[in-house]
Amino acid sequence: MEQQIKTTAVRSISSISLGEFFRKYVLLVVLILCITIFSVINPQFLTLYNIENIIWQNAYLVVATLGMALLIIGGGVDLAAGYNLSFGAVLTAACLVWWDTPVWVAVIAGIAVCILLSVINGILSIKLNINAFMITLGTMTIFSGISNIFTQQQAIYNLPEEFKYIGQGSLLGIPIPLIIMVVLIAVASFILNTTYLGRYIYAVGGNNEASRLAGIKVNQTKILIYIIAGFFFGVSAILLVSRTGSANATMAAGTEFTMITAAVLGGVAIQGGIGKIWSVVVGVFILGILANGMQIIGLGVYPQYIAKGAILIAAMGFDLYQKNRAAKVAKSTTG
């Protein structure tokens, strides 16, 4: 009898551990499955050339999604992020081609304008007391108009080689975008996991009023989040325009939905207060691998749109399921 009890207990612990492991690392399982499936369908997928291509294509998106993830964890969102990136890119290109500024000046200008646009979103949301979703839905069209007026709907070409090196070059055989991406992943993780600001971001995203009662300066924290997010958007814009070698007013339009999808897929709660940087990065690469794999097997752009939309709905549904499940467990425990 005693042996049977021990065996049952061991099985229960094993099943709990297995379930917990699956919930914690399900994204890695999905990533491995995607890689395996596309590799079986087309052996060209798992070549060094294609792996490097996936990294080149998604480095800027990882950086931008870090900014979006911080916003969502902090209880906000930015639907204007795509045009924020676009304007940062065209301003950088204009500095280099139209005004012949040094590369470092153009880079600072591009990042600075992205921070400015992001902060405008934050200030409007706070001062008007309107949900960031609605504010950024409005500023998305404003930023779009500004970008198109600024460029007169013309692309900017012939960027200098020393600037394009940022997005196309390598250091000791390692792509520069990969180095920048890894550094900024470390920075975002450091902010969230080891600083008071990181704790405040989780707290504000989880419950505004409780954070205020706890002595947290909620509005200042939100502005800081928008500043940091704007910095990530700015660096992302630099990576994008230096990789493509040209800029236009719509070059990053629509990427905001990819950022949101990747963040939610990566476990960031759309209501705020929950999320981890490593899982967000995995979420970006799952989408990147899906897009790359679907291209390799001959599927066009529109099936990718369908896949992204389905993934976003599924991720949000899973997030809601997890919350309801946790609420039921908490209720049964207290009851």
Q: Which two tokens stand for residue 235?
A: 């660096």
Please check the confidence at residue 14 and state whether its pLDDT lies above 60: no
What is the band of 310 on the pLDDT scale with cuts at 50, 70, 90? Answer: confident
Maximum mean pLDDT: which of 246-250, 260-264, 265-269, 317-321? 246-250
Instruction: With H, G, I as helix, E, B as strand and everything else as coil, classify residue 147.
Output: helix
Does some domain include residue 223?
yes
Residue percentage of the chain with pLDDT more than 70: 89
Write the pLDDT tens digit of every residue in 94-116: 999 999 999 999 999 999 999 99
Q: Say if residues 127 and 242 touch (Cβ distance below 8 Å).
A: no
Q: How many domains does the chain have?
A: 1
pLDDT at 128: 93
CA distances from 21 to 13, 18, 24, 28, 193 (A): 12, 5, 5, 11, 21
Candidates 253, 240, 48, 238; CA nearest to 144 is: 253
pLDDT at 23: 63
Does some domain include residue 328?
no
What is the band of 302 on the pLDDT scale with cuts at 50, 70, 90? Answer: confident
Q: Say if residues 191 and 198 touch (Cβ distance below 8 Å).
A: yes
Q: How far is it, in rounded angstroms, from Cα 82 to Cα 185?
A: 20
Q: What is the DSSP letter of 43?
A: G
pLDDT at 28: 86
CA distances from 193 to 190, 199, 206, 305 (A): 5, 8, 16, 33
210 CB-near residues (< 8 Å, 6+ apart): 203
Does some domain include residue 326?
no
pLDDT at 46: 87
Please check the confidence at residue 317 and state whether its pLDDT lies above 50: yes
Q: Say if residues 282 and 262 touch (Cβ distance below 8 Å).
A: no
Q: How far is it, in rounded angstroms, from Cα 174 to Cα 163?
A: 17
Please check the confidence at residue 15 and state whether its pLDDT lies above 80: no
pLDDT at 16: 46
Does some domain include residue 4?
no
Does some domain include residue 333?
no
Q: Is the pTM of this model over 0.95?
A: no
What is the band of 30 on the pLDDT scale with cuts at 50, 70, 90? Answer: confident
More confident residue, 226 or 266: 226
Q: How far is it, in rounded angstroms, from Cα 143 to Cα 133?
A: 15
Q: What is the DSSP letter of 170?
A: E
Does some domain include residue 112?
yes
Q: Residue 247: beta bridge partners?
A: 156
Give CA 318 to chain center in angstroms: 19
What mean pLDDT is predicted for residues 35-61? 90
CA distances from 218 to 8, 199, 207, 264 (A): 49, 12, 10, 23
Distance in angstroms between the alpha carbons of the first and the last residue of the chain? 32
Instruction: With H, G, I as helix, E, B as strand and everything else as coil, classify residue 239.
Output: helix
Does some domain include residue 31?
no
What is the band of 319 on the pLDDT scale with cuts at 50, 70, 90? Answer: low
Average pLDDT of the chain to the nearest whole number? 88
Q: How many CB atoms are closer than 10 A to CB 33?
A: 11
Please check the confidence at residue 24 and state whether its pLDDT lies above 60: yes
228 CB-near residues (< 8 Å, 6+ apart): 67, 70, 191
pLDDT at 5: 46
**What are the backbone dihedrals phi and psi of residue 247, each rounded to the nearest 5 degrees, phi first?**
-140, 145
Range of the domain at 248: 44-312
Q: Say if residues 272 and 75 touch (Cβ distance below 8 Å).
A: yes
Please check the confidence at residue 165 and state whether its pLDDT lies above 50: yes
What is the band of 270 on the pLDDT scale with cuts at 50, 70, 90? Answer: confident
Residue 281, domain CATH: 1.10.3470
Task: Quickly list H helices, the chain.
Answer: 2-41, 48-73, 81-97, 103-128, 132-151, 161-168, 176-194, 196-206, 208-213, 218-244, 255-265, 277-296, 301-334
pLDDT at 255: 94
pLDDT at 191: 96
Please check the confidence at residue 12 and state whether its pLDDT lies above 60: no
Q: How many CB atoms are closer than 10 A to CB 154?
A: 11
What mean pLDDT is predicted for residues 73-99? 96
Largest CA distance in the chain: 85
Does some domain include residue 20?
no
